[in-house]
Structure 1
Amino acid sequence: MYLKFFFSLYIISFLFLFLMSVLCFIVSFFVIKMDLVYFLEWGLFSVNSVEIVYVILLDYISLFFLSCVLFISSMVIYYSMSYMGHDINKDRFLLLVLLFIISMMLMILSPNMVSILLGWDGLGLVSFCLVIYYQNVKSYNAGMLTILSNRVGDICILLSIAWLLNFSSWNLYFYLDYMKMDSYVNLISFLIILSAMTKSAQIPFSAWLPAAMAAPTPVSALVHSSTLVTAGVYLIVRFGGLMNSYMLKILLILSCLTMFMSGLGANYEYDLKKIIALSTLSQLGLMMSILSIGFSLLGYFHLLTHAFFKALLFLCAGVMIHSLKDNQDIRFMGSNKFMPLIFSSFLVSNLSLCGFPFLSGFYSKDLILEVLSMFNINILIYFLFYFSVGLTVSYSFRLMWFMNFVNKNFFSLINLHGEDWTMMKSIWGLMFFSVFSGSVLSWTLFVNLNFIYLSLNMMLMVSFVILGGILLGMFISFNFLNYSKMMWVFMKSYFMNYMWFMSFLSVYLMNYQILIFSKYIKKVLDFGWLEYLIVVNIFNNLNYYLKLFEKVQMNFLKSFIIMFIFFIYLTYVFMILI
């Protein structure tokens, strides 16, 4: 009976989210064709002259993104019906995922900073609950790192709300055009950039993103494709018009370094989920950097196409981990010819991540690189861009090599029944969009025909970078297969694997000294002067008075007669004195 109720709950959630995504997709086409923007105000209550309203902004940006989020969420919930079917807390898992989706919807649909904070804080809180879903020390540490890093962004949003009290409204969308050069708005835009960097895990807040892999794989697919980490990118897409050039230059440098660092780290990582997490970090750096140059629509386009193939990549990884005895080390996965459908889907998502021609990732990444070649930009940023794209191809090729083309390295006790049909339906739905979403969205979003004129060397630069990335991936793969010590041991083991020591700095630099100081305070106060002055003193006094009352109660009648006689005597003396 319980299982029937559980499956019906998952099916109802899947159908509702899927139908809502289809509805949003149809409405978004109507809105972009008619060039419409809807502001819906819902009056909650009013106190004297202050009216509290909830504002919903419906344009093609919010509707396309909402449709993408709802579709991926529906596929993830349908996938989880089989993946989490034997879990003891599967009903709690479903409720947390639905809360996560509702928080993202609140954040997408509102231009009001207060209601954005409602969704923003909800994302951070529910993500903590999902990261610590498997209750152990490692998950708890990862969850604390996740929520404490995201709290920095929440504080920045709160400060921007406080600073917006100088204006007439919390709807920051109203100030995009005519208050761009105001000093107050510059401060608010700086706070928005800082909060977006924390949620999208840019340097120096990058350490929490691979740590959040402690969550179940369906949650990782949802978080890393369209919900938590994309919230910062979406915020910059919305309010990028407020930013001045100096802030955007700093954001450009940090996002390019993030893209470069995560690409290097993924080439030296063995954990399958962490490799995919670092690839997410690389793509987030790509989105933030193209947004900081000023091409917000292009960054938004890559945000949508990236969501589909990254969710597909995580769902395929979840099936492989499930089938190979819950093992996440790519060195023990070997050939996947026993799961041809999963292997094909994984290959499609990986090629789309590389920007293989005519898959969805190609339409956005190739356009980004060509626009970058047209833009007047620093040679360092240009090098970091192209080299990071080559690193993307490198770790993708390395991943495919280890998992699909080497000899069978997995354990003998495994479950090769991984192609569950419930999971496969979700994977096929996402694979369809990983192939076709790039072309459909490019024809829809870019209605004006713009020609890109580049020299032959510039046009072939992308091909050269892809070939160089394949060669680099082959070198790294063969190097690890032969267990050669040609690479720098220290760099390989520590500097690359620990994300330029950011995983240490995020924990020990910010928390370790505070913990040491707290230990000292506890030793001096709680176990020192406070204990002597308060606890011991009160205990001694109470002990004395309790013994006194105990003596009074031991001789009950005699004591009360003496007290009565003493009271009569005092009364007599008082009357004489008067």
Structure 2
Amino acid sequence: MLSICFIFFIFLLIFSLFLFVNSIYLLINDLVIFIEWELLNMNSSSLVMTLLFDWMSLLFMSFVLFISSMVIYYSDEYMYGDMNLNRFIILVLMFVLSMMFLIISPNLISILLGWDGLGLVSYCLVIYYQNVKSYNAGMLTALSNRIGDVALLMAIAWMLNYGSWNYIFYLDCMNDQLEMKFIAYMVVLAAMTKSAQIPFSSWLPAAMAAPTPVSALVHSSTLVTAGVYLLIRFNNLFINTFLSKLLLLISVLTMFMAGMGANFEYDLKKIIALSTLSQLGLMMSILSMGYPKMAFFHLLTHALFKALLFMCAGSVIHNMKNNQDIRVMGSIIKGLPLTTSCMNVANLALCGTPFLAGFYSKDLILELVSMNYLNILIYFLYFLSTGLTVMYSFRLIYYSMSGLMNFSNLNSISDEYLIMLKGMLGLLFLAIIGGSMLSWIIISVPQMICLPMLMKFMALLVSLMGGYLGYEIYQYKISWNLFIKNKFNLINFLGSMWFMPFLSTVGMNMFILDQGFKIIKSIDQGWNEYFGGQLIYKKMTNYSLIHQFIQNNDLKFHLLLFIILIFILLILI
């Protein structure tokens, strides 16, 4: 009997290939299919669902479905023994469905449907292993993303100034009108929360509490790339404005911060999560410079090797009896030759090694940055971050694959998980040829890049330097120990994402939630209540008692009233 994972794997794979072929057809013929589906019509008011099918949306959907199919097939063995496997698969499929909604929507309302769907299902998946750490991580993820959801709702409200919520018709004229720039600010804020840019970065490593197949899907092609995809669609709104310069600075700082943090991290999944954050910064920065196609190109190539990297990490964690600390690993290449080969290919693709998937997008982006009019800070941070990527990748390789095994005396690690290996090999093929294939598809016209020799070799130089420094850090030589001596505060600052997780949790509680609690107690439940609801209640009660006393038709009351009237008459006379 076929398992539910295998059935969905076949279905998603076929659907992915179908969408890929159609995206090529639309690209070659320069076609866009715009569908309006009328759901309800009442008294000339119609509720219409709009769908946009162009080469970009179909190609992205094809990649999302391909990675999802491999992840679901991989989950069949990774989640083996889980009593709620069907629920897990349904949650993953709901996640993919929400992403589909977001990709094909030219309408802000239906985008919100997919956007909120991603937020809700990601919360359910992050708290899948039900423990305190997972609950905290899930709450941080959900609340960070809620900021973006509110921004999107405000953009929807502001869109009422136009005749429709189909933003695709108004992108060209929005930028000309000053009051409409509000929509651009709200959309960029929403994208920054979903793609975890500074200061919303702390939720992304925390979301590693989810099962590894979820991480492979979420942190490669779905949740975190939703913000980048939204900005690719809305790029006309903020290109060549103050907002684009601000986004460029924030994204480059995010890239640098994540690259630096990954070099001080020892949790295998968190290192890969920080590398995702670094690559998201790269996508956002090239997007803010006015190259949406390049951002989309890197988004797709990154999805391929990052999903593979997470799958390899899952296999290693399984063999390490669910231990994620890279310090206890070592010589895993002897027991897991195939897994480590896949992991090395994915790592090298991430570093931008020539002729692997990452090289075609990353090298082109770096050369476009070298050709652009940038200040020295952005240029320096760009290439420094590239070097840091190679640095933490080589550090990870050396820690896990060379040296002595530091785990236990009895090591029984082996490549015995065949279904997981098949899922990884499916992605390995595209992690090697995917970049070349996509460069032929997306960049139809060759681009002329004219650079001096030093700038042309800059990417290669910083990569080689980063690889060497990664090896040095792994070695822990005497010179390195002297360098880090008495620098605990600096290392603590760099290794903890510039204290962002602390500020997002304890800091928010101390400064914002605590103050909010005091304001509620003193105003909403204090003076407002005393002079508002409670005062009205007491006055109304007293008046009601007086009224009731009058209504009782008591002799004493009539005598009193009679005496008062006589007294008034005597005064008047």
- For the criterion TM > 0.5, the same-fold answer is yes
The separation in 1 between residues aligned to 2:136 and 2:199, in whole angstroms, is 18
Give the counterpart of 2:510 among 505, 509, 512: 512
Shift of 1:481: 9.8
Residue in 2 aligned with 1:28? 23
The separation in 1 between residues aligned to 2:479 and 2:321, in whole angstroms, is 25
Change in Cα spacing, 1:236 to 1:481, as seen in structure 2 (3 Å) is: farther
Equivalent AA in structure 2 for residue 516 of structure 1: D
Shift of 1:12: 1.7
Does structure 1 conserve the Cα–Cα contact (< 8 Å) formed by 2:338 and 2:415?
A: no
Residue in 1 aligned with 2:434? 437
Given the alignment of the two structures, is residue 181 of structure 1 paired with residue 176 of structure 2, yes or no? yes
Does structure 2 conserve the Cα–Cα contact (< 8 Å) formed by 1:342 and 1:419?
A: no
Does structure 1 conserve the Cα–Cα contact (< 8 Å) formed by 2:335 and 2:415?
A: no
Q: Deviations over 1:107-144 (max 9, x none)?
A: 00101000000000000010001000011110011001
Equivalent AA in structure 1 for residue 112 of structure 2: L
Does structure 2 conserve the Cα–Cα contact (< 8 Å) formed by 1:180 and 1:243?
A: yes
Given the alignment of the two structures, is residue 150 of structure 1 paired with residue 148 of structure 2, yes or no? no
SS at match of 1:86: coil
Residue in 2 aligned with 1:563? none
Give the counterpart of 2:286 among 262, 275, 290: 290
Shift of 1:406: 1.6
Given the alignment of the two structures, is residue 204 of structure 1 paired with residue 199 of structure 2, yes or no? yes
Shift of 1:497: 1.9
SS at match of 1:225: coil
Q: Deviations over 1:198-218 (max 9, x none)?
A: 000000000000000000000
Does structure 2 conserve the Cα–Cα contact (< 8 Å) formed by 1:324 and 1:415?
A: no
Map 1:150-169 → 2, pairs under 5 A: 150-169=145-164
Given the alignment of the two structures, is residue 234 of structure 1 paired with residue 229 of structure 2, yes or no? yes
The separation in 1 between residues aligned to 2:87 and 2:349, in whole angstroms, is 34
- Which ranges in structure 2 are unaligned for 5 or more consecutive residues? 535-573
Residue in 1 aligned with 2:363? 366
Give the counterpart of 2:77 among 82, 86, 96: 82
Shift of 1:484: 2.8
Change in Cα spacing, 1:465 to 1:47, as seen in structure 2 (3 Å) is: same
Query: TM-score of the superposition, structure 1-length normalised?
Result: 0.88
Equivalent AA in structure 2 for residue 167 of structure 1: Y
Bigger drift between 459-468 and 103-112 goes to 459-468
Shift of 1:49: 2.5
Shift of 1:519: 6.2
SS at match of 2:498: coil
Q: Deviations over 1:354-384 (max 9, x none)?
A: 0011000000000001111111111110001
SS at match of 1:178: helix
Shift of 1:463: 1.4
Does structure 1 conserve the Cα–Cα contact (< 8 Å) formed by 2:330 and 2:403?
A: yes
Does structure 2 conserve the Cα–Cα contact (< 8 Å) formed by 1:25 and 1:64?
A: yes
The separation in 2 between residues aligned to 1:318 and 1:443, in whole angstroms, is 32
Map 1:125-524 → 2, pairs under 5 A: 125-244=120-239, 245-336=241-332, 337-479=334-476, 484=481, 486-487=483-484, 488-491=486-489, 493-517=491-515
Does structure 2 conserve the Cα–Cα contact (< 8 Å) formed by 1:185 and 1:242?
A: no
The separation in 2 between residues aligned to 1:87 and 1:521, in whole angstroms, is 46
How many residues are aligned here?
Answer: 532
Shift of 1:47: 2.6
Shift of 1:249: 0.2
Shift of 1:415: 4.4
Shift of 1:526: 13
The separation in 2 between residues aligned to 1:131 and 1:513, in whole angstroms, is 26
Does structure 2 conserve the Cα–Cα contact (< 8 Å) formed by 1:320 and 1:418?
A: no
The separation in 1 between residues aligned to 2:215 and 2:117, in whole angstroms, is 17
The separation in 2 between residues aligned to 1:414 and 1:91, in whole angstroms, is 32
Bigger drift between 460-469 and 291-300 goes to 460-469
SS at match of 2:234: helix
Change in Cα spacing, 1:415 to 1:119, as seen in structure 2 (3 Å) is: farther
Change in Cα spacing, 1:394 to 1:94, as seen in structure 2 (3 Å) is: same
SS at match of 1:177: helix
Residue in 1 aligned with 2:7? 12
Shift of 1:513: 3.8
Q: Deviations over 1:309-338 (max 9, x none)?
A: 000000000000000111100010101111
Shift of 1:419: 3.5
SS at match of 2:41: strand
The separation in 1 between residues aligned to 2:187 and 2:274, in whole angstroms, is 24
SS at match of 1:454: coil
Change in Cα spacing, 1:31 to 1:522, as seen in structure 2 (3 Å) is: closer
The separation in 1 between residues aligned to 2:131 and 2:477, in whole angstroms, is 32
What's the RMSD between the two structures over aligned residues? 2.4
SS at match of 2:173: coil
SS at match of 2:335: coil
Bigger drift between 456-465 and 358-367 goes to 456-465
Does structure 1 conserve the Cα–Cα contact (< 8 Å) formed by 2:305 and 2:427?
A: yes
Give the counterpart of 1:116 among 93, 111, 115: 111
Does structure 2 conserve the Cα–Cα contact (< 8 Å) formed by 1:21 and 1:68?
A: yes
SS at match of 1:358: coil
Shift of 1:478: 1.7
The separation in 2 between residues aligned to 1:520 and 1:181, in whole angstroms, is 43
Does structure 2 conserve the Cα–Cα contact (< 8 Å) formed by 1:130 and 1:219?
A: yes
SS at match of 2:130: coil
The separation in 2 between residues aligned to 1:345 and 1:363, in whole angstroms, is 19
Does structure 2 conserve the Cα–Cα contact (< 8 Å) formed by 1:268 and 1:492?
A: no
The separation in 1 between residues aligned to 2:89 and 2:136, in whole angstroms, is 23
Query: TM-score of the superposition, structure 2-length normalised?
Result: 0.89
Equivalent AA in structure 1 for residue 290 of structure 2: G
The separation in 1 between residues aligned to 2:301 and 2:258, in whole angstroms, is 20
Does structure 2 conserve the Cα–Cα contact (< 8 Å) formed by 1:221 and 1:312?
A: yes
Residue in 2 aligned with 1:55? 50
Does structure 2 conserve the Cα–Cα contact (< 8 Å) formed by 1:319 and 1:419?
A: no
Does structure 1 conserve the Cα–Cα contact (< 8 Å) formed by 2:473 and 2:480?
A: no
Shift of 1:281: 0.2
Shift of 1:479: 2.2
Residue in 2 aligned with 1:558? none
Map 1:92-111 → 2, pairs under 5 A: 92-111=87-106
